[in-house]
Chain A
């Protein structure tokens, strides 16, 4: 589903923020991505959701080489990826309903079907009664649930979450992780970037660890049994 080969990312003339990244995310897998702040987690996710071209190496998503895919074909690939951000990125001038419906509208979906799907999904995340509310009137946890609903409304094959629990308390963070697990059970591959080690330890999923711009086998959780690379190789496969 996602395959990186010796990927490096450099912004401007500075040193590389990611070096020699080689990884494979299998369809339907669940993967944590951990590392200290500034380790390059967001840059790695940007490569996965096709918002950043690698400076070197190869990034393949759904079997397509990012750098070689014609620009006009990229939107179709992006629609198969859902993204959840730490700061939610909900649009303040749209209602909760319209925020969640936005990816469907972009994809040109039928309005009637979209209404039904959005209402059902907001029910599922427990916000069925807040359809017409402004995102500003919601708590942090509620806003993040709206953001998750928006990310999965198109039934993506891959869901990427960049510090999704960074702005909520531990109780809400645990509930959000349960939502991700439900999505994973329905067949969506999930990658959650977080620096919350305590939260990671509560789940038994493989962990990718970024340190010093390089991907390494992690040290937390039983998931490391499933990595096939030696320590320091940067190769983690599920």
Chain B
């Protein structure tokens, strides 16, 4: 037999539950979206830089970048050494314009950059299948010039990943706190509903209803309200994320380019209302069972 509608959901403090769950799901979805986007971006940065090193050849005193002379001889020697090294797929010397473009955000587009003794930069793509012997390569390059520096981006990438991971842990902590707060609100709301329907509960108890039967009445009520609130919260999140994505698109930044969520990420966010409904229902059930355990 179906459960009769004995616990109307429009009575007591419980009627605010959908709105509280909506707010919780909204913030949880925002935190989740940020965490997922960061995770995705970190993965992309790691993939982009994992097979890349940059060789920096500082200019000798009195020489400017692009000028013929000892610098060019050092560059040619380095390129030759790189091409002779196993595990290196591509070697590309950055043009002076490209180096100037990299510095432009910090130094401006005036003539200052042209006056500076800029290093020569060589972008080296490593083979993903055949590992290169970087320590040996560094030894060779040190013979050409002890000031020649090989940057495998690990320090920069490490800091970035640590920052990203810290932020992701914070997002997880936010989610955990939101879950905790939701449970607290559900417990309060369920106790309030239990008190409001105590006469019905006592009657069912006297008729021989098992605790599970009575708890199910509250469980379905809480699940219905949790799902309603969760869907409202998700709709609000969708609107907020859409607005944010429009703003981010205007920036056209190289880092923000990776922040779009994957289909799996979107599916995770879409599951939040159902998870919220489940959490609400199970918390309500547990709360009712605890209250009922005080009855003989």
Q: A residues near B, CB below 8 A?
A: 49-53, 66, 71-72, 74-79, 83, 89, 91, 93-94, 98, 102-109, 111, 114
Contact, CB under 8 Å: A76 / B208: yes
Nearest chain A CB to B41's CB is how many angstroms away? 53
Nearest chain A CB to B137's CB is how many angstroms away? 74
Contact, CB under 8 Å: B207 / A102: yes
A111 to B2, CA, bound (A): 9
A53 to B202, CA, bound (A): 15
Interface-forming stretch among B4-12, B153-161, B218-226?
B4-12
Instruction: Check: B198 CB closer than 8 A to any chain A CB.
Output: no
27 residue pairs A–B, Cβ–Cβ below 8 Å: A49-B206, A51-B205, A51-B295, A66-B296, A71-B296, A72-B210, A74-B296, A75-B210, A78-B205, A78-B206, A78-B208, A79-B208, A83-B207, A93-B6, A93-B8, A103-B207, A103-B208, A105-B1, A105-B2, A105-B3, A105-B4, A106-B204, A106-B207, A106-B209, A107-B208, A109-B1, A111-B1
Contact, CB under 8 Å: A51 / B208: no
Contact, CB under 8 Å: B6 / A94: yes
Cβ contacts under 8 Å, B115 to chain A: none
Binary contact track B187-228/A, C-beta < 8 Å → 1, others 0: 000000000000110111111111001000000000000000
Q: B residues near A, CB below 8 A?
A: 1-6, 8, 199-200, 202-210, 213, 293, 295-296
Cβ contacts under 8 Å, A91 to chain B: 6, 200, 203
Cβ contacts under 8 Å, B6 to chain A: 91, 93-94
| Interface of B, helix, strand, loop or mixed by DSSP | loop
Cβ contacts under 8 Å, B199 to chain A: 89
Contact, CB under 8 Å: B206 / A51: yes
Cβ contacts under 8 Å, B200 to chain A: 91
- Count of A-B contacts with CB under 8 A? 60
A220 to B5, CA, bound (A): 45
A108 to B206, CA, bound (A): 16
Cβ contacts under 8 Å, A52 to chain B: 296
Beyond A91-B203, A106-B207, A111-B1, 19 extra complex contacts between A and B, CB < 8 Å: A50-B296, A51-B206, A53-B296, A71-B296, A75-B208, A75-B209, A76-B208, A83-B206, A91-B6, A94-B4, A94-B5, A102-B207, A103-B208, A105-B1, A106-B208, A106-B209, A106-B213, A107-B208, A114-B1
Contact, CB under 8 Å: A79 / B1: no
The residue of chain A having its C-beta at the shortest distance from the C-beta of B202 within the complex is: A51
Known interface pairs A89-B199, A106-B213; A98-B4 also in contact (CB < 8 Å): yes
Cβ contacts under 8 Å, B293 to chain A: 71
The residue of chain B having its C-beta at the shortest distance from the C-beta of A53 within the complex is: B296
Nearest chain A CB to B208's CB is how many angstroms away? 4
Nearest chain A CB to B279's CB is how many angstroms away? 27
Cβ contacts under 8 Å, A79 to chain B: 207-208
Contact, CB under 8 Å: A102 / B208: no
Cβ contacts under 8 Å, B203 to chain A: 89, 91
A87 to B166, CA, bound (A): 62
* 10 nearest A-B residue pairs (beta carbon): A79-B208, A78-B208, A105-B1, A75-B208, A106-B209, A53-B296, A103-B207, A75-B210, A111-B1, A89-B203
A78 to B207, CA, bound (A): 6
The residue of chain A having its C-beta at the shortest distance from the C-beta of B293 within the complex is: A71
Cβ contacts under 8 Å, B1 to chain A: 104-105, 108-109, 111, 114
The residue of chain A having its C-beta at the shortest distance from the C-beta of B199 within the complex is: A89
A89 to B4, CA, bound (A): 16
A3 to B123, CA, bound (A): 95
A52 to B294, CA, bound (A): 11
A51 to B209, CA, bound (A): 12
Cβ contacts under 8 Å, B295 to chain A: 51
Contact, CB under 8 Å: A51 / B296: yes
The residue of chain B having its C-beta at the shortest distance from the C-beta of A87 within the complex is: B199
A236 to B188, CA, bound (A): 48
Nearest chain B CB to A73's CB is how many angstroms away? 11
A93 to B3, CA, bound (A): 13
Cβ contacts under 8 Å, B8 to chain A: 93
A75 to B214, CA, bound (A): 12
A74 to B295, CA, bound (A): 11
A75 to B8, CA, bound (A): 24
Cβ contacts under 8 Å, A78 to chain B: 205-208
Nearest chain A CB to B295's CB is how many angstroms away? 8
A59 to B241, CA, bound (A): 64
